[in-house]
Amino acid sequence: MTDLSKQRIVITGGDGFLGRVLQQKLRDQGVKDESIFVPIYPEYDLTEVESCKAMYNDAFGGAPVDLVIHLAAEVGGIGANRENPGRYFYANMAMALHLIEQFRAMGLGKTGKFVQIGTICAYPNLTPVPFKEDDLWNGYPEVTNAPYGIAKKAAWQMLDAYKLQYGMKSSYVLPVNLYGPGDNFNPNSSHVIPALIRKCCEAIDEGADHIECWGTGSASREFLYVEDAASGIVRAAEVMDEPTPINLGASAEITIKELIELIVELTGFTGEIRWDPTKPDGQPRRCLDTTRAKDLLGWEAQMDFREGLMRTIEWWRSNSDRVQPAGGIVSN
């Protein structure tokens, strides 16, 4: 098992939603602040090879990087994914390609480890529920997020190839949809839970008599509290040396209709919910089999979903005046 307290760790996307929580989890494991390096855009544009080289050289003043946890992703909700398929494929593929190759080319892969965060968007559109890792190649992903999902899946294959040819240690985890305090609430790029929380809270503040929601509400999703996800990633960094794909989920499924009704209840919004069936529902169902995470990591999610939503709503109400820029690099 890798003793993380003795590692020099780069966390891409470490200033984002998941990254900030992950940093604290690492500190709880005994990692010192000076042993964590977070590359910040635009000083380091990780889609550019020379910038990745500079980042590795700069991270610890010339001392070698022992561990990379690659959280950074360029992604959004259904609307953003439909508008930016080319950009999302390129940005996510380029970051993984350059970071992994330079980790190897600069000799860091001889003793270090690369942890890649994948995405549930990589699963085929009609994957049997619950999703099992062995089904990742059994079909094409849901079309609205396929470019992003395929780019992330290609990073897994790159790590597998580098393990076979170069013996490079790595791990690959696939967290389901994340939520929690500090999430991205930008309406241009947020995912479903923060988008719905913001919509309900703003409707209350404005005295609106209804809110509008995309699709029919029939699609289902599974959600993982951000602290649980961070714990799973830390555990993978400790115990995994090869990129066997591992689902990280809460093993609980809820329809979008049920989700919005729950958020309406918890926020106190009393108006009408109006559905727009001309907008896409996205992938029909998402729920993960987390047997492999239990077996290989000894990990299970801990947060009760209702409690996690309440904490997220309370955070937004205390921080809704914060300006959040549109687009950019956000955590998956």
Residues designated catalytic: 148
What interhelical angle do 256-267 and 192-206 show, nearest 10?
40
* Distance (Å, whole) CA 107 – CA 187: 42
Locate all alpha helices (DSSP H) within the chain, ordered by sequence.
17-28, 49-58, 78-83, 85-105, 146-166, 192-206, 226-239, 256-267, 291-292, 305-319
Q: Write out the DSSP string of 90-113.
A: HHHHHHHHHHHHHHHHTTGGGT-E
Which contiguous run of DSSP H or E holds residue 136? Answer: none
β-strands 169-175, 220-221 pairing: unpaired
Helix-strand-coil split of the chain, %, nearest 5: 45, 15, 40
Using the structure block, give the residue that is written with the tokens 């005295």.
207
* Distance (Å, whole) CA 159 – CA 115: 9
Cβ atoms within 10 Å, residue 310:
13
> Given its phi and psi angles, is residue 284 left (phi above 0), alpha (psi -120 to 50 degrees) or beta?
alpha
Mapping DSSP to helix (H, G, I), strand (E, B) and coil, where does residue 151 land?
helix
CB 236 within 8 A of CB 171: yes
DSSP 8-class letter at 120: G
CB 103 within 8 A of CB 70: no
